[in-house]
Structure 1
Amino acid sequence: MIGKGTILGGTITVPVLADAIAAWHDVLGLELCEEGEVAADLASSWGAPACAGLPFATLRPKSGAPFWIRLVEQPSHPDFLPTTSYGWAAYELTVQDVFGWPERLAGTAFEIIGPPRAIANMEPAFIPMQVLGPGREMVYLNEVVGTMPGFDLPRAACAVDKAFIVVLAAKDRAASVRWYVDALGLEESATFTIPYTMINRAFELPADHLTTLTMIASGAMPVVEVDDYPAAVTERPCHDGMLPPGNAMVTLAMPDLDSCKVDWIAPPVVRAGAISRGRRSGTVRGAAGELVELVEVGS
C-alpha cells in the first residue's frame, strides 16, 4: 500500500532527452519504462501548455519501488543556475555504497558538486553526496548508515533507489510548512540549523553560514525538506508556458484528492501512464510557487 505523502516522482527538464535517458539508465541504473509525447491536457494541467507534444521518458529504480523519474525535453534556459532560485532545489535519492559513486560518475553526464561527507547535526544517520545531471537538476545520493530519531529513513534495495526526501527552496519557510500541513494534511517535523554547503557555495557565503530547514513528514516517513534561502535568491527563470528548468515538479501520493485544500491548475482527472497508472491526478502550486502533482491512491 502506498501511504499519504509518498514521493511518487520527480520531473526534470532536459535539453536532449536521449542523453538524459542514457545518463539515468546507463550510469545510475534506473530502468526505462515509458516514452512518448506530453499530452496537451496533461501539459495544461501542469500550467505548462507549451510542453504539449514534447518528448518525455519515465524511469524507475530496479528495486520496483513506487518512484519514477520523468524526463521532459525542453530548451535550456540561459539564466538558470541551480540552487539559486525558489522552487524545487533537489531530489534526494537513497543509494548503496555512496563512497563508490565518485569513481562511477567520473567522466559521465553527472557533475559532482559535493563528494560524500557527513552533515553536522545529522550524523551518523546518512552520508550524502551531490551531483548535477544533464538538465542541471540537483540530485543528492544518500546512503543511510544509521537511524535518526523520529524518522524511518529509506534504505536502498538497489544501487540507486527511491526518493529519500525532496528539497524546497522556500520564499517563507513558515508559510511553506503551513501549506503542506494545512493543504495536504502532512505533518511538521524536526527543524535543524546547519552550515549548508550547497547553499553557501551557490551564494558565495562563508562556509560556516547557517541555514534553517524544517522537515515535513507523513508519520515517520520524510517527505519535504523546506529550506530558508538567503536574500539573494531569485524567482526561477522559465520559458513562457513551459516547466521550470532543472528540478521541475514533484509528484506525491494522496489518499483522497477531494480532501486536499488546494487550488487546482485544472480539475483532477483519471490518467494513464507510469506514474498515475489509471488513477486521478492533478497539479497545484505550493507557497513558493513550486509545482506539486498529486495522485489519488486510496486509503
Structure 2
Amino acid sequence: MSAPANHGRIVGGLTTVPDLDAAEGDYAGRLGLAVVERGTVSAELAASWGCPDSAGARMIALQPQSGAPCVFRLVEAPLPPSFLPMRSFGWSAFELTVQDVFGWPARLEGSGFEVIGPPKALPGMPFFVPMQVAGRGREVLYLNEVAQDMPNCDLPRAESLIDFLFIAILAVPDRAAAVDWYARALRLEAGDTHVLPYSMINRAFDLPADHLTSITVMQKGRMPVVEIDGYPEGAIARPGPAGALPPGNALVTIAVDSLDALALEWIAEPRARDGALYAGRRSATVRGPAGELIELLELAQG
C-alpha cells in the first residue's frame, strides 16, 4: 500500500463530466477505480469552492485498487461547447502513475477516453513512459509508467494498473509569478525549470513542433506536486458559468500540515467534513494565481 499522505501530497482530483453514469463506466469499468461514495454536492461544500451553482449536482468518489490515499471525484455538469482541452488557464491535466502503459490503448478501446498521445519513450528521459487521454468531460489524464527516479525527485511506482494522482499540471499566463505564489502560499519548493518542445501544447495551439514552452515543477522535498506550464498567446480564461465548477480538470485537493499556519484568503472558513476524502478533517479552498481551485485538506483530524 502507498505511503500515507504528508504536506504537499495530492490527495484528490475533481473532474466535471456531462454524463456521470457513462463516466463511471470509464473510470470504474475501464480504469478499474473502485467507487467508494455516491451522492450529490451539498450546498455548503459547493459554497466552500466558490461554486454555489454546483450544489445538488450528482457526484461519485473513486479510489485506486492499491489503497493509496487519493480520491477521484466526478461531478455531473453540462459541458460548455467552447471548452477545449489544454487551451485555457487553470488545471490542464492530472498525472497518474500506472502499470503497463503500452497496454492501455487497447484497454481503453470503445470507452469514453480518447488517446490524444500514445505511449512513447522520450529521448533523453529514461525515467518514465507517458501517454495522454481525454475523457468525456474533455478532462486530460497523463498515464505515466515510472522506470526510475529523477535526479532531483522521486517518482512513484504504481501498485495497481491505475494508481494515484501524483502531479497536477497547471496552465498559467505568468509562470514565474505562479512559481513564487506556490512557494509562498503552500510552502512548496521550485524544482528544475525545463524549456522544451511540448507536443501536447503545440498541437493544442497549432504551433510549430519545435516551439518551446517553459515548465517548472513545484516539489515538497523530493516529492513532485504541481507542474506549472507557461502557456502561449491565445490561451484564454477557462470558459463556463461563473458560479459553478469549471469544465474539465476542475479542482485539486492537496494535504497540508495545518490550515491555520497558512496565510491564505479562504473562499469560506475551514471546517471539518465527512466522506471518503475528508474523514472528519478540516478543509478549505483558495483560488490560485491562474484562477485554479485548490482545496487544502488538513492532515490532523479536526
**The TM-score by the shorter chain falls in which range?**
over 0.9
- Relative to structure 1, the CA distance from residue 120 to residue 290 in structure 2 (aligned partners, 3 Å threshold; closer, same or farther) is farther
SS in 2 for 1:248: strand
Corresponding position of 2:41: 38
The CA deviation at 1:241 is 1.0
In the aligned structure 2, how far is the partner of 1:162 from the partner of 1:206? 33
Matched-pair contact (CA < 8 Å) for 2:5–2:11: no
The CA deviation at 1:31 is 0.2
The CA deviation at 1:205 is 0.5
TM-score, with structure 2 as normaliser: 0.97
Matched-pair contact (CA < 8 Å) for 1:29–1:160: yes
In the aligned structure 1, how far is the partner of 2:85 from the partner of 2:12? 19
The CA deviation at 1:100 is 0.7
Matched-pair contact (CA < 8 Å) for 1:192–1:212: yes
Matched-pair contact (CA < 8 Å) for 1:182–1:261: no
The CA deviation at 1:120 is 4.5
Corresponding position of 1:26: 29
Corresponding position of 2:230: 228
SS in 1 for 2:300: coil
2:199 corresponds to which letter in structure 1? Answer: T
Matched-pair contact (CA < 8 Å) for 2:9–2:166: no
In the aligned structure 2, how far is the partner of 1:101 from the partner of 1:130? 10
The gaps in structure 1 that reach 5 residues or longer are none
In the aligned structure 1, how far is the partner of 2:196 from the partner of 2:71? 30
SS in 1 for 2:138: coil
Q: How does 1:150-299 map to 2 (within 5 A)?
A: 150-298=152-300
- Count of residues in Structure 1 that have an aligned counterpart in Structure 2: 298
In the aligned structure 1, how far is the partner of 2:30 from the partner of 2:165? 17
- Relative to structure 1, the CA distance from residue 267 to residue 120 in structure 2 (aligned partners, 3 Å threshold; closer, same or farther) is farther
Does 2:58 align with 1:55?
A: yes
Runs of 4+ more than 2 Å apart: 118-121
The CA deviation at 1:164 is 2.8
Q: Percent identity?
A: 55
In the aligned structure 2, how far is the partner of 1:119 from the partner of 1:163? 21
Corresponding position of 1:125: 127
Alignment root-mean-square deviation, CA: 1.1
Corresponding position of 2:101: 98
SS in 1 for 2:84: coil
Matched-pair contact (CA < 8 Å) for 1:120–1:194: no
The CA deviation at 1:277 is 1.0
